[in-house]
Chains A and B, each alone.
Chain A
Amino acid sequence: MLGWIARGLAQRRVTTRYPQAPERPIDAFHGPLLVLEASGADRELEWLCPTGAITVDSRRRVTLDRGRCIQCGECVRAAPHRFAFAQRYETAARHRQALSVGAGDDSQPRADRAVLAARARPLRRSIHVRHIDTGSDGAEEWEIQALWNPYYDIQRLGFFLTAAPRHADILLATGVVTPPMRAPLERTWEVMPEPKALVAVGTDACSGGLSAQDGSSYSGIDAVLPVDVYVPGSPPAPIAILEGLLLAVGLLGDST
C-alpha cells in the first residue's frame, strides 16, 4: 500500500485545466465536421454520407447535421475542399437545430468557455450524475468513465456519479433507444427529482446514428424524452461530454 502512495505522489499532474483554460486537441484528432464550401454542390454529395447527415438544398447549398455525423470521414476523403475535421473536442449544443452547420459556420452560437468556467468555479453544491445506456456501441461508456480518470477528473468540478436516479441532477443518456430500453429510460427519468437535465451523449443518442433508417425505431433519445443538451460524436471526446455537463448545469438553476 505504501508503494501505491509513493507511486501516486511521484505522478506529475496530468489533469486538464478545462474549462478554466482551453484544451488543445491531439494533432490529427477528428473533431466535429466543418463545411468549408457550401455552395454549388451536387445532389450526389448526399450519397457520400452513410447516415444522411449531408443535405443539399434546392439552391445547391450544403448543410451538415452534426447530430447525424459519425465522423467516418467519407466526405472529407471524397471532397476535401468542402469538408474537414475541426481541430477541437467540443461538440455540445443546447438545441438540435444548432447541430446543423453550413459553410464557415463554426461561428454558430457556441457555448462560451468563459461562461462555463464561471459556472464550474463557484459550484456551491455538487452535481450528481446518473448514466443510462439505451443501446450504445459501448465506446460512449468508456468516454464517460474517462471523465473520472486523472486526466479529466471532473470531481474537481463537483460532479459525482450516483447509482440512484433519485439522487441525480443530470441524466447522461447514450444509445439509440432500443425497444426493450425505452421503458427503463422513461422510468429512470421519472424518478429523478426536479430540477433535472437530460444530456444525450453520442451521435447514436442524438439521432440514432448508423442504426437510424427509414422506418426504424432507433432514432435517439429525443424521440422519447425532451433532451436538454446534445453532445454529438461517435463517440464524443471526454472534453465534449464535460462541456455538455457544464451546459446542463446552467439549466439546473441556482448553481450559477
Chain B
Amino acid sequence: MTLVLGIATGTLLVAPFTAITSDRLAAAINTTGCGLLVVVGLAAALGQSRPVLDFGGWFGFGHSALRVDGMAGIFLAITGVSGAATALAAVERPPGRWLTALGCVLVLTTTGAIEADNAFLFLLAWELLAVCIYLIASAGRERPEQLLEGYFTAGLTKLGGAALLAAFALLYGHTHTFSLAVWAHSSLSGSTRGILFALLLIAFATKIGVLPLQGGLPAGYSAAPRLGAAWLSVALSAGYYGLWRFVFATVGPLPTWCGDATLIVGALTAVTGIAYAITQDDLRRFLGYSTVEHAGIVLLGFGVALLGQTAHNRDLAAAGLLAASLHVCAHNLAKTLALIGIDHVEAQTGERSLDRLGGLGRRSRLGAAAVGAASLTLAAIPPLGGFVSEWFTFEALLQGFRMPALLSRLLCALAAAALAFTAGLGLLAFAKYYGFIFLGVARAKLPRIRSTPTPAVSMGVLGIIVLFLGTAAPWEIHALGSGLAGTLGFDPSDSVISHPLVLGPVFADFSVLAPTWLTIIIPAYATLAFIIARSRRNAPPRSAPVWVTGSAANLAAVQYRPSAYSNPMRVILRGPLGYRSRIIPARDGDPDPRPVLQRTVVSAVDRYVYAPVIDAALAVSAAARRLQSGHLSVYLLYMLVALILGLALIPVLR
C-alpha cells in the first residue's frame, strides 16, 4: 500500500504541471491519482495497512512523514471520491488550464494536509490550500462583485490560518515538537485545552462554514468560475479532518463547556444556514448556504462526541463521532454531485438565477437525475445516505440523558429539536430548488439551450454512489467504525450493526433503522401502486391545457416564482433574517415605468459582523494608500523603522 500511496502522491504532484500542455490530460491524471487515494484510504480505514511515506528531517522541523492511519484513511477516501468525480467532470468538459491546474493543486494540498503526521507539514499544506482557494475564488472575472467575494473568502481563510498558527504555537510551546503523535499524548491543563479548542474551532470553522465565520462559503461558491465551486467543496474534507484530528484526537478530552458550545454553535449554524438557503435566488449561493447548514448538523454530532469524551463515556463519544463522520461523507459526496450538476445547468443555460429557470428536467434528464439524487440526500429523504446520517445524529442527540451535566442534557434536547426543524426547512428548501429548476415550465425566455458536453460519466458514477450510499450504510459504517477505532479505543460498528443489515445507535436496543431493506421495500411499494393504477385505468390518458381559472393566461407569467414561494418563510423568520419589504416608486426615465417591490434579506452576521469589518478594512487600506507616496527615500525610511522595531522586539521576547 505504501507503493500505491507513493504512486498516488506522485501522480497528484505531476498533474498540475501537465496542465501546461493539456488541461484534459491533467484532469485525467488527477482522476487516476484520486482513484488510487480511494484505494489507499479504504485500505487504511479497514485496517488492512497503514502506509507511510517518510520524509525524515528533510523539512527541517523535525521528523515528518505522510502517514495514513484509520482516521486519515476515511477522509482520504472521501476526498478521493469527490475529487475523482470533479476531475472526471473536468475531463469531460475542460474548464481551462489554469483552473485545472489549481484544482489539481487543491486536491494535492488537501490530501497532503490529511496525510501529514507533522504539524509543520500540515500547516504547509493548509496554507498552500488557502492560497489555492483564494486563486480559485478570484479566478472568475465575469461579474464585478466576484472580486470582492474572492477577497472576502481569502480574508476569512487567512483568519483561520492565523488562528491555526496560534494554536500550533501554543502546542509547540508546551511540547517542543511538531509531531502529531506526541501532541496526542501531551498533558495539557483544562484551560489550555479550552483556549486550544477555541483557536482550532475558529481555524476550521472558516473552512467548513460555521457561524459566524460562514461567509466564505456562499461567497466562494458564488465567485468561483466553472467547476471551481465543486473543487472548493472537495477541500471541505480537510476542514472536517482538522476538527477530528486536532480537536477530538489531539486536545480532547476538553472541558464540558467546549461540547456545550459546539452544540449551540452547531444548532445555530444549521438553522441559520438553511433559513438563508431558502431565501437565495442564486443557484450556487443556495448550495453554499446549504453547506453551512450541513456543517451545523455535523457539529451537532461532533458536539455529542466531545461531551461523551469529556464524560469518559466512550459509547457516547462513538455515537456522536460516527454520526458526524457519516454526515460528512454523505454531505461531501452529495454536495459535490450537486455542484457538478448545477455547473452543467449553468453551462447549458448561461443562467444563475433560480427565478429565470424552470422546466429543465425535460431538456437535461441526466442533470435532473443527478441533482435530484443529490437534493434527496441533502434534504434527508429516506432511505438515502443523508437520512441515515441525520438519523444517527438525531439518535446521538437523544442520548443526551446520559450526560452528567444538566446543561448538556438540556442542550442535547434543544439541539435535537433544532435538527428536526432544520430537516423540515431543508425539505422545503430543496423542494423549491429542484422544483423551480427542473419542473414546471420556464418562467423566462432563456437564450437557446447551448449544447455543451454533458459530464455524463462523472455525474452518473457519483450519482449512483450517492443514491446507494444509504443502502450501503452497513458497509460504510463498518469502514468508518474500523477507521475510527484507533481514536475511540474500540470499533463501534460491532454494536451498531446488529441483525443482518439492521442499524442502531451505538447503544443497544435504543432504536433501529434498516436503510438497506428500505431501499428494496419503498421502490417495491411504488411499483406495486403503479401497477395497480395502470391495471385499473380503462381510458387512455388524455392531455388537456393547464387550468388557469378559465383564462388562457401566459403560464410563465402566472406561476409562483421561487422567491415568492419562500416568502412565507422569510416573513415568519423576518427577525433573524433581517427581512425588509418595500415598494420603490419608479423614477422618471427608468426603462421600466413600474414600481418595484424590493425585498431584502440581510443576515445578522452580515450586518453586525462582516459589514463593519469590511468597512474598517476598506478604511484602513485607504489610509495605507496615503503612506505609499512613491518616493524611494520614504520607502527606505519605512524599512529602517521596521528594522529598528524588529531589533527592539528581540530583547522584549527574551
Contact = CB atoms under 8 A, between A and B. Distances in A.
B539 A191 contact: no
A164 B547 CA distance: 8
Interface stretch (A85-93, A181-189, A213-221, A224-232): A181-189
B651 interface: no
A138 interface: no
Contacts of B547: 164-166, 191
Interface in B539-572: 539, 542, 544-545, 547, 550-552
A42 interface: no
B542, B545, B550: residue with the most chain A Cβ atoms closer than 10 Å: B550
A194 B539 contact: yes
Contact of B550 (A166, A184, A193, A194): A184
A191 B552 contact: no
A183 B552 contact: yes
A251 interface: no
Interface in A99-151: 132
Contacts of B551: 184
Given A132-B550, A188-B550, A166 B539 contact: no
Interface string A231-255: 0000000000000000000000000
Interface in B206-240: none
A190 interface: yes
Contacts of A183: 552
A186 to B, nearest CB: 10
Interface in A189-214: 190-191, 193-194
A164 B551 CA distance: 13
Contacts of B544: 166, 190-191, 193
B539 A187 contact: no
Give the dominant DSSP class at B's interface.
loop
B542, B547, B551, B552: residue with the most chain A Cβ atoms closer than 10 Å: B547
B553 to A, nearest CB: 11
Contacts of A187: 545, 550, 552
Contacts of B539: 193-194
Nearest to B544: A191
A190 B547 CA distance: 10
Interface in B500-546: 539, 542, 544-545
Interface in A149-184: 164-166, 183-184
Contacts of A165: 547
A193 B542 contact: yes
Contacts of A164: 547
A52 to B, nearest CB: 31
B550 A190 contact: no
A44 to B, nearest CB: 44
Contacts of A132: 550
A184 B544 CA distance: 14
Contacts of B550: 132, 184, 187-188
A182 B429 CA distance: 41
Nearest to B543: A191
A58 B224 CA distance: 91
Nearest to B550: A184
A165 B550 CA distance: 10
B545 A190 contact: yes
B279 to A, nearest CB: 31
A132 B551 CA distance: 13
Nearest to B551: A184
Contacts of A191: 544-545, 547
A147 B242 CA distance: 71
Contacts of A194: 539, 542
A213 to B, nearest CB: 26
22 contacts: A132-B550, A164-B547, A165-B547, A166-B544, A166-B547, A183-B552, A184-B550, A184-B551, A187-B545, A187-B550, A187-B552, A188-B550, A190-B544, A190-B545, A191-B544, A191-B545, A191-B547, A193-B539, A193-B542, A193-B544, A194-B539, A194-B542
Interface of B: 539, 542, 544-545, 547, 550-552
Given A184-B551, A187-B552, A191-B547, 7 more contacts: A187-B545, A190-B544, A191-B544, A191-B545, A193-B539, A193-B542, A194-B542
